[in-house]
Structures are given as C-alpha cells and as structure tokens.
Chains A and B, each alone.
Chain A
Amino acid sequence: MDTYAAATELAYPEISEIFADVFQHAGPLTRGTSPEDVSRWDSLQHIALIRALETTFAVRLSMDEMMEIRSVGDIERVLGRHGV
C-alpha cells in the first residue's frame, strides 16, 4: 500500500456518509478501501455508489470513471479531476 492509500484522513468527508448510506458500511474508511473490504459493494450497488457521488458532488461521471473507481482513493482522484 503506498503512502497515499495509507493516509487516513479523507479529502471528502462526505464519502463516509455515502458509504454508510449506500453500503451500510460503518467500518473504517481509507483510500485503500475497496470492494473486498465492503461486503455490499458489488456490481449492482456500484451503480448506487456512482449515483450518490453524482448527486452529492453535483458531477456527472463517465463510463470510464465508473470503471476506474475501484477504491476510495480512486473516488478522490476522480472527484479531484472534476474540480470538486
């Protein structure tokens, strides 16, 4: 795990709320958190995650970005690129 992924403080605190809401995930969240750590993060709930990100941050994610997101760190990178 690189240092970026190991950092614990998220740049977007809203992500914790989204994970609680979409995946009922109450555990710790780091940039390295991936579908393997979140039991409900399957391909169908992935849609709900994308949807929550789009509404919370008022962005529209592309198909590529939808595939790119494989961890919390990916979410931050994608959001950062949107200038959020």
Chain B
Amino acid sequence: MSSSSLDMPRPPSTVRGASAPVSDDKIGEIVDAVIDAAPECVRKRVLLPAIDWALVPPHKVSLLVSSLDQARLPLPRWLAKPLLLAGHTLSSAARDALPGALAVLSRLNDAAGEPDEREALAASLEGLAYASDIDADTAVALVRRLLALSWDDEALRFALAQAHSAPQALRLAGGAFERHLADLPRLRIRMSGSSTTRVLADALHPAFGVEGWRTEISESSFGGVIGDLLSPPDDVDALVVLLDTDGLLATDWRREVQDVERIAAERVDMLGQALQVFSSQAAVPLLINTLPVPSRPTVGLLDRRHGAGLRRIVDSLNARILDAAAASARVIVVDADQALSGLAARDHVDPKLWYYGRIGYSHEATQCFARAFAEAWRIVQRGPVKVLAVDFDNTLWGGIYGDDGVDGLACGEDFPGNAFQALQQECLRLKAQGLLLVALSKNEAGALDAFEQHPGMVLKADDFAAHAVNWQPKADNLRRIAADLNLGLDSVLFLDDSPHEREAMRRLVPEVTVPEMPDDPAERPGWLRRLSATWPARLTAEDASRPAVYAARRAAQELQARAASFEDYLSALEQRLALSFVSERTVARTAQMHQRTNQFNLTTVRLGEADISALAADPTRGFALLGQVSDRFGDHGLVVAATVDIDGAEATIRTLLMSCRVIGREVERAFVGALVGELASRGVARVRGIYVPTAKNGMVRDFYQSCGFSPTGGEGSGTVWTFAIGDTEPPGSTYVTTSWER
C-alpha cells in the first residue's frame, strides 16, 4: 500500500529544518528566486518539489500561481498537493482542475469555521468519504484541518470512511472515535492464531469500529487455535482465527522427506478435524482465513505436485477450511487471496517481524485482514443491500439519450460500448444474486425503450423491478419506489456517474448508500464486483445441499463419536518434557528468557547470567531448572525455566516462567510437578511460590492455586502460595512425558 500516489522527492533537510520563515535568510532568497522562475521550474519539474511550503508566506504562493497562470501553465498536481498540505489556498480556477480531495482541502484551508461554510462543505465531504483514490497524506491533512476547525463530526465520518487506506487519520480523530464507539453495539471477540495475534488484535478494533461494532478483544495464548476450536469459550460473540503459513506449516527438514510429507498431512488433518468438530458443535460464530498462495515454494517448480510442496499443503489445508464452512454457516471464511489482492505476494510477510516476534503477516497484510474480517462480519450480520438503483446516461450506456438518440448510444461488443455492456452484465449478475434493479433516470420516458431498441443492450426493460424515468428529483422518485416495494431506504445502493446527483441523493436521502463511482467506465465493472455492500451473505439453499456438505457433517459426527476433544488433541500431541539444570551452555538462553518473558512469568524478576550462574554454583542453596519441550511435530527448544532458593526444609521459587509457545498444554503443570519432586528428594518439606502481579502476567494469577498450592499471605505487592510436600498430590499431566538429563 503506497502512502502517497504522488512520488514527491523528499525535500532536503536544510530547507525543512529552517526555523525562521524562509524569507529571512539566504535560503529565503533562493526560494524567492525559484518562485520567480516558477514557469521554467514547472516545465522542467525541478527545484519546486524541494521547498517546504509551510514556511512560505501566502502572498508568495499567490505570486507563484498567478505567474503560472500568465504563462498559461496549469498548476500541476505534484505542486498543488504540497501547497495544499502546507495549508495554502488556491484560486477557485486552480482548484476546479484538481481531484476532489485536494479541491475540498483547498476550500477547508480557506474556511474560517463559520456554520454556513460547514453547511456548504457537508455534501462534498460526504462524497469524498466514499472516494477510493485518496492517498494517506491527503486524508490525514483533511482530518487535521477539520479537527482544527472543530468540525469533529465531519472529521470522524471522513476518518472512518478512509480508515483502511489511512489508519493514522482515525488515530488523529481519536477522542471523537472513542465517543462514537461508545454508542455502538458491543462485540466480544476471542482471538487466536497460529502465530502472534497482537498486531491483528490492535487492527481489529478500528476495523470493526468502522463497520459499526465496539469490540472487546481477548487473546488466546500463543498458538491456541486448536484449543479454542475444540472447546470454544462461551462468553464471547465471535471467534477470530488468524492462520499463517510460517506458524502453521514450518517444517523440520532434518527428517526424511517422507516424514516431512506425513507430518504436513497430519498437521492439516489435525486442524481439519478440529474445524469439523467446531462446525458440528459450536454455538459461537468463527471468522477464519484461508492461507494465501505461498510465494516461497519448498519444492520449486513441483511445489503444487510434490507431497512436501508448500503450495500443495496450503491447498489441502484451505480445502479443509472450506469443508468446515460448507458444513456450518457459523464458519465464516475470509479468502486470503481476495483480502490481500491489493498487495504483492512478496509483501504479505515482513521477514524481520516474523523473526522478531513471530508475527506471521506484514503490517499491510494485517490491515487487509482486519478489514476483511470486519467486512465479513458485517455482511453476515447485516446482509447485502437489496436494491440497486441505477442511472442510464453515461452509466448503463455511453452518451445521452436525449442528445444522441438510441443509435448514438455506446453499448455493445465494441470499444468503448463494451465497458458499458460489461456494467450491464454486472447488474444482471447482481439481479441473479437476488438484488432488485430499479431504474432512476432523468430522461424522457422513451429512454426505457432503448433497452429493446438498441442491439447492444444486455439489460432489458423488464429486468427492472421498478423504474422512474422522468424529470423529477431522483430522491423523490426513490422514496416513492421504496415505499411501493416495501423496502427500507437503507437497503438501497445508488449508482450514478454524476457527482451532483450523488451529492443530492446523499443530502436528501442519507440512508441510501451512495458510493463514489470511478470516472473511467472501464474501471466500473471490476469496481462493482469489489463493492462489498453487494456481496451475498450466504449461498443459496441449492448450494447448501451439495453432497460435500453431507460428507463433511458425516465426518464430523464420526469424529465426535470418537469423543474428539481438547484432551484427545493433547494426548495426540505426544508431548515430551526434558528437564536439566542450567549449565554453561544454557545460561545465556536462561537469562534471555528472564529478560523477555512477560505473560507466563510469576515474579518477573529479571535475573541476569551472573545471578543464574551464582545459583548454580552451590547446589545445597538452590538451583536453576530448565525444561525443553518437544512434540510429534517438532522441537520447541528450551521454553520453561525456574530458579529456586533452598533454606533447610523450605524452598522458595524465585522465578518461574515459560515461553508463550507452549502455554495451555499442561507442560507448566508437569514442570512444577518435577520441580516439587526434585525438592522433595532433597529433603524440602515446604515450597513457597510468589505471584507478583504486573500489567502483563494476569494469566498466571491463579497458577499456583491450580497446582495445589495454598495461599499463605502476602509479601510486598505479591501473594505467597505454599505447597506442603507429602500432604498434597504434586501437580502433573498425563499428556506430558517427563525425563531428566543429569
């Protein structure tokens, strides 16, 4: 996603950094000289882009514009944009040649904040909100200016509509946005993923806000997808699952190729089965994405054919996701390739984010997914529009019926009429998908006959459920037709090539959806397909009865009969926990874990290498214990650690922490069980554990209690828990096989 449609060279910092107005110094003289030579500079496209116009006084800008005018040079867009972003205003003549967003910005720069100005700009702003071609810089400048005028409502509406291409605009409108959200219905989302979900969780809040929901998002533990699918929490309104290829399908190539293939198939199976179980029993809706077509093959040319080929594995996984959606309307699938279609495939992942924090998608891709999830939710909850109200002249055909006559209209197999014919085809497609077509044209009544008289028209007059072809205002016509059809105006989409008609409709019937249609007829058919307001919420009954659905249901039932559950999943994982005392080789990793672990960290004491080595030096005074976890899919490495101080018959767990990679699989219970066992063998009778709350470790608040420790008071901000060896059964897990390396 480019932040700017105009590739302006960055001005040199000497000009930008000037603290005084440029006219006061040497650089000011140079700027003056450049402005004097403006026509020459515009022709050669030099020097002018280097000027920071915020430092140039308005009268010099007027001088510049009028000298271009005298030289009969139009003000080029590459110059107009920085002038306007810097807060300057342009003459109405110069303004009219600019695209909508810049023209409105010019008028805003002029505005003093009077109510009548606000009234006059309202419809233009509303129209602008729907425009799809505003670059982020301009959107941000518009919002800033609106906020400066204290026109908060307008700023918010515009920022909401542009949130996807300019998320920073929404952040600027922050206060107004939060007030807006407060009135929206609440949506409790549980989020899990095959990698870190935090970046998406942050993006979901504004994305759902744009669609009309105030989200409360709770994140599952790292990689908690299967757990959430098999036992979905019942206190949420929706489950969101973000799958990514690296997190889900990373392969250990130390194995034989046949094993790689088998493991890949098993992984696909495990997720597929979990999805089947979910779709057959869950009450909560699930939003889940498919994996995008991989751009980094593992078997090159054969990637789609070889059993270890990433593309082939991705395809089979996606097929399982679609099976689950076919089996249950509660499974809502966001197609990754569609959601990410605006991005080059190589930009789906930002490798440094992956290596830094196991973030499976780039920022741009994450924004696309957030938008796609929110749109999917809106489509499923509220459905598409029901009525497509459409204009004739220069919309359904090229030319004007009244001026050009039927024979002069462009619509047919040949250029340029084929673009108009294609739009008619799209109208027919929407009709076939259940929308009602309504003709709204300011024309002689005979214009309706053009559909029969002109050989290129694919739409026919009787394709329209209703029509108003007259000289009355379109708003009045539409109100009457909606009443006749007994349909709410909020279920109407209005297409018209005329910006004036669009503005009038927005002003007079604000309930109607009036998107900005592309000026170029060639762009319109594809644009209409991407317009999510028209997307159907569900397949027709016919589609839903396809044999595949029954097959998927049967499979899910069989699986259920085998009592598939989270416990089964855990036992199928075949987890192994290898325990060892910290050695020279592992002390650095142990210290690093102490620095980086925030969530599963009972005391958050940041022990360094020296502290840990000191502990290891005298085994009678304490020890540092490490756990390495592996399962049938691979090795997770050293992921759990504890340091313990021993004082006679009493031991205190100074630190206890675990990487989020393996949280929630009972490894933590097995580890504490082994720790307690080791202490018992050294003659310890009581083990003290301390929980010190931080902003991030709420997930372990009750951990000691769940392991059989009893509360025995407080210590500073922490709570102390004690485990009496011999009185209580030590914690453990039947899903984890423990071994010692001494």
Contacts and interface: CB of A to CB of B under 8 A. Distances in A.
B585 interface: no
B357 A63 contact: no
Contact of A63 (B10, B168, B356): B356
Contact of A66 (B198, B352, B596): B352
Interface in B1-33: 3, 10, 13, 16-17
B683 to A, nearest CB: 41
A62 B171 contact: no
A17 B363 CA distance: 20
A55 B3 contact: yes
B199 A47 contact: yes
B359 A47 contact: yes
A43 B357 contact: yes
B171 A63 contact: no
A63 B13 contact: no
Contact of B357 (A9, A11, A44, A62): A44
B41 interface: no
B740 to A, nearest CB: 33
A58 B7 CA distance: 10
A61 B168 CA distance: 21
The dominant DSSP class at the B interface is helix
Interface in B622-644: none
A62 B355 CA distance: 11
A58 B10 contact: yes
Nearest to B168: A21
Nearest to A84: B10
A28 interface: no
Nearest to B696: A42
Interface string A28-70: 0000000000000001100100010001011001110010000
B353 interface: yes
B363 A51 contact: yes
A50 B319 CA distance: 36
A27 interface: no
Contact of A47 (B3, B351, B357): B357
Contact of A43 (B10, B168, B363, B596): B596
Contacts, number: 31
Interface residues of B, number: 18
Given A21-B168, A84-B10, A66 B356 contact: yes
A12 B12 CA distance: 11
A13 B352 CA distance: 26
Task: Pick the most buried of A11, A44, A57, A62: most chain B CB atoms within 10 A of its CB.
Answer: A44
A11 B353 contact: no
B604 to A, nearest CB: 13
B608 to A, nearest CB: 17
B353 A47 contact: yes
Nearest to A10: B17
Contacts of B3: 55, 58
A63 B353 CA distance: 8
Contact of B13 (A12, A21, A43): A12
A13 B353 contact: no
A57 B13 CA distance: 12
Interface string A1-34: 0000000010111000000010000000000000
A62 B13 CA distance: 24
Given A51-B363, A63-B355, A44 B198 contact: yes
B539 to A, nearest CB: 38
B137 to A, nearest CB: 11
B17 A13 contact: yes
Contact of A21 (B17, B171, B353): B171
B203 to A, nearest CB: 11
B13 A11 contact: yes
A13 B10 contact: no
Contacts of A12: 13
B168 A13 contact: no
Contacts of B353: 47
Contacts of B596: 43
Contacts of A62: 352
Interface in B338-365: 351-353, 355-357, 359, 363
A6 B642 CA distance: 41
A44 B356 CA distance: 10
A69 to B, nearest CB: 12
A53 B352 CA distance: 15
Contacts of B363: 51
Contacts of B10: 57-58, 84
A11 B352 contact: no
A55 to B, nearest CB: 5
A9 B18 CA distance: 11
A13 B359 contact: no
Nearest to B355: A63
Nearest to A61: B352
A61 B350 CA distance: 11
A51 B3 CA distance: 12
Given A47-B356, A47-B359, A66-B356, 7 more contacts: A11-B13, A12-B13, A13-B16, A62-B352, A63-B355, A66-B352, A84-B10
Interface of B: 3, 10, 13, 16-17, 168, 171, 198-199, 351-353, 355-357, 359, 363, 596
Which 7 A/B pairs are nearest by Cβ-Cβ distance?
A: A63-B352, A51-B363, A55-B3, A66-B352, A44-B198, A63-B355, A11-B13
16 contacts: A9-B17, A11-B17, A12-B13, A43-B596, A44-B198, A47-B199, A47-B353, A47-B357, A47-B359, A55-B3, A57-B10, A62-B352, A63-B351, A63-B352, A66-B352, A84-B10
